[in-house]
Amino acid sequence: MMNLKTGIFSGSFNPIHIGHLALANYLCEFAGLDEVWFMVTPHNPLKEESSLLEDSKRLELVKLAIGDYPKFHASDFEFHLPRPSYTIQTLEQLKDKFPKRDFYLIIGADNWNLFSKWKDSEQIIKTTSILIYPRLGYPVNEELLPTNVKIVSAPLLTISSTFIREAIAQQKDIRYFLPLPVYDKIKQEHLY
């Protein structure tokens, strides 16, 4: 039996929105992945803590967002790793724990342009397939990519979690930017 092709989509998901979901949906239905794991990252020392919901709440919103779509999985895997957690360590631990899966790292073109600054970036490229999704203003030269790094022609959705948080703070009705259960939860609990 073939190993499952599992996309690792890491992020703070603060909050998760339709842009994240549409991209992951595209990767499963059009780019050959069997599943996508939404890897909710614990608080990143490089991001300001104040605007970041607690880890468990962001995970809860991801679970609400993905509903019963069988190809999506909400993961708290990184919550249980030493901090700060680096992508290389996460990938090594995932491969040890789930040997029947082939992991694909999903990153935006903006992150690809900074990839050489990541801890052990060369090792990641050697050991893991990488899928780059387009981001406005971050061109990637396809001819210079290593063989296991591919650009996916996913639709470009320029929605950001920052935009969502700011809109909520301004009391805008942005129900169509979020899965309805997420929108309802944010309203009920006055998140952001």
Q: Which residues contact 153 (CB under 8 A, 6 or more apart)?
A: 134
d(CA 87, CA 9): 11
pLDDT tens, position by position, 138-188 = 999 999 999 999 999 999 888 999 999 999 999 999 999 999 999 999 999
Spatial separation of the C-alpha atoms in residues 139 and 23, rounded to whole Å:
18
Q: Which residue type is seen at 11?
A: G
Could you read off the pLDDT of 98-144 as tens digits, one per residue?
A: 999 999 999 999 999 999 999 999 999 999 999 999 999 999 999 99
Mean pLDDT of the chain: 94
State which CATH number among 3.90.1150.10, 3.40.50.620, 3.90.850.10, 3.40.640.10 fits the domain covering 4-159: 3.40.50.620
The long-range contacts involving 23-29, CB below 8 angstroms and separated by at least 24 positions, are 23/106, 23/133, 23/154, 23/155, 23/157, 24/72, 24/106, 25/69, 26/152, 26/154, 26/155, 27/106, 27/131, 27/133, 27/152, 27/154, 28/71, 28/72
Q: How far is CA 157 from the centre of its chain?
A: 14
Q: Which two tokens stand for residue 166?
A: 């700011």
Residues 6+ apart with CB under 8 A from 105: 7, 8, 10, 87, 91, 124, 128, 129, 130, 131
Instruction: Return the pLDDT at 45.
Output: 59
User: Could you tell me the sign of the dihedral formed by the alpha carbons of 11, 15, 19, 21, in that order?
Assistant: positive
As a whole number, mean pLDDT of residues 69-80 equals 97
pLDDT tens-digit readout, 9-54 = 999 999 999 999 999 999 999 999 999 999 999 976 565 666 889 9
The values of phi and psi at residue 38, to 5°, are -80, 105
